[in-house]
A and B are shown apart, each in its own frame.
Chain A
Amino acid sequence: MSARILVVEDDPNILLSVQFLLQNAGYTVQTAADGLQAWAALQADPPQLVVLDVMLPVLDGFELCKRIRAHAVCHRTRVLILSARGGEAEMEKSRQLGTDAHLRKPFATRDLLETVARLLVV
């Protein structure tokens, strides 16, 4: 059975591209367009990996990350941050929150696929 990944992204084009890339690589992909939608999906059935945009409507990526880390059901869920602001402060915040990886937008598709593969092996 292929690994299940939740992609949380409010820009429909980026969402489509990430979804295509991951499905094309054989993963099962679930999507959410805002933080609350994502949180509901996570609680219902936590995936192995969440690919998470930072600037999300309703509930932002870092806030969602905090919830994931505090929630026992999600303790095996890996978090990959995709951030478009990309400042040093944001990278640091990402590290402090205990995310598993952080990619800056725009990313190379190969980097995304390699990072996802690495996170799902460990």
Chain B
Amino acid sequence: MLNIDLYIGLSLIRRPSAAEHSQATLFVDAFKQSPVSGSRFWRGSASLDELLALLGRFLGRTRAREAMADYARQRGVKTVELLPADGATVHHAESLLTGAVGSASARVMIASVVEEEPLNFGEVMHIIDDASQVLAYSRRLEQQSRELEAATTELRDANVRLRELDQMKDDFISTVTHELRTPLTSIRAFSEILRDNPTLAQAQRENFLAIIIRESERLTRLINQVLDLAKLESGNTAWQFNQFDLREAIEESVNAMGQVFRDNRVTVQTHLPANAPDIVADRDRIMQVLFNLLSNAAKFCIEGEGRIRVSLTQGERVLRVDVADNGIGISPEDQAIIFDKFRQAGDTLTQKPKGSGLGLAISRTIVEHFGGRLWVASRLGSGATFSFTLPLMRNAAPRPAPGAAA
């Protein structure tokens, strides 16, 4: 009987072609292969050099040699080269590799250097399981990495937006500072001039005093508007909800501005329907919008022969107000910026336009608060029409024309 506990042919064969290749033929008893013991014996022939090269690849050349030298000492062999490439050596190499690449991969790699080693079905299944686990894991990793990447992009975008907002805030403060300091500069300079030059001619005194008063008014207006806008934007505005007739509001605002129109020699025409349903909004705020649009129109009309046309029309769900002037018009580029804070049409011209540059920003905020829209239509050279809408109440009954029979 064959002694199944012993390797047969444990001889070291020197290949004539490669003298340094130590080679051994290994046999193992199939009955001895027990999964419980954890010892797997290899059958077939292996080259010690190939095992070392394989280990070196994953553990590093030095570490691989040291690990195998330890193993050689355990087996009572003097050097690694004298180590027999037998089943035990191959198994040890496999266990070393397992630590680095996982058991299934180690098994496949070792099989690649062990000739004539057939993998049995169970092993193949194990390898496949192992590999599919690795695949699933790497898919999960990939998915997570994609999610992480998306999150990173989102964060980066948010950061950019925050920085833009911060920049906008800085720009705003810087602009407000400039706009506040400018009238203050004239007020202080002319006050000191008047104080230090008591013998100024009457006409000059009056001119300087008029400038001080005008610039004080400009400063007051600006402060009020900056505060108003800050209040609107912070959401701390106490909005009123009044039910009112927009036609009346338009007539009232046009009448209230009569002096401004006369001073600027502007004629105003109103085109109001005989009746219109009430709307619900903050009446004072809507009046503020009307004043803003009317005074803008008066400011930018043709000098001396300004004409403004104010009309109210009823749409399906909204009332629409149009304020048209016959001024120089607004270029498409300027139309895009005039609703921004402190941006005005013709800002680059030598003659700065009048006003704070906040009126339209405030007006748009107000109209949008009540669910409406505010926009401009214009062509350079043929006037501008500012329009806004306000939504109608549901089931709103048209209010009869004043004095009309019910």
Contacts and interface: CB of A to CB of B under 8 A. Distances in A.
A10 B352 contact: yes
A99 B181 CA distance: 21
B406 to A, nearest CB: 57
A17 interface: yes
A85 B182 contact: no
Interface in B268-299: none
Nearest to B179: A84
Contact of B184 (A18, A57, A105): A105
A109 to B, nearest CB: 4
Contacts of A105: 181-182, 184-185
Interface string B184-222: 111111101100110000000000000100110000000
B348 interface: yes
Contacts of B196: 109
B350 interface: yes
A104 B182 CA distance: 11
Contacts of A57: 347-350, 352
Given A106-B189, A108-B192, A13 B178 contact: no
B177 A85 contact: yes
Interface residues of A, number: 27
A85 B186 CA distance: 15
B174 interface: yes
A84 B193 contact: no
Interface in A17-70: 17-18, 20-21, 24, 33-34, 37, 55, 57-58
A84 B182 contact: yes
A35 B190 CA distance: 25
B179 to A, nearest CB: 8
Contacts of B183: 13
B200 to A, nearest CB: 9
B192 to A, nearest CB: 4
Nearest to B192: A109
Nearest to B195: A109
Contact of B185 (A85, A87, A107): A107
A84 B185 contact: yes
A77 B196 CA distance: 29
Nearest to B352: A10
Contacts of A104: 181
Contacts of B215: 13
A37 B352 CA distance: 16
B81 to A, nearest CB: 73
21 contacts: A11-B182, A11-B185, A11-B186, A17-B185, A17-B189, A17-B190, A21-B189, A57-B348, A57-B352, A58-B350, A84-B177, A84-B181, A85-B178, A85-B181, A87-B177, A106-B187, A106-B189, A107-B189, A109-B188, A109-B189, A110-B192
Interface of B: 174, 177-178, 181-190, 192-193, 196-197, 211, 214-215, 347-350, 352
Given A107-B189, A109-B192, 18 more contacts: A11-B186, A13-B183, A13-B211, A16-B211, A17-B186, A17-B189, A17-B193, A21-B189, A24-B193, A33-B350, A57-B348, A84-B182, A85-B178, A106-B184, A106-B189, A107-B185, A108-B188, A109-B189
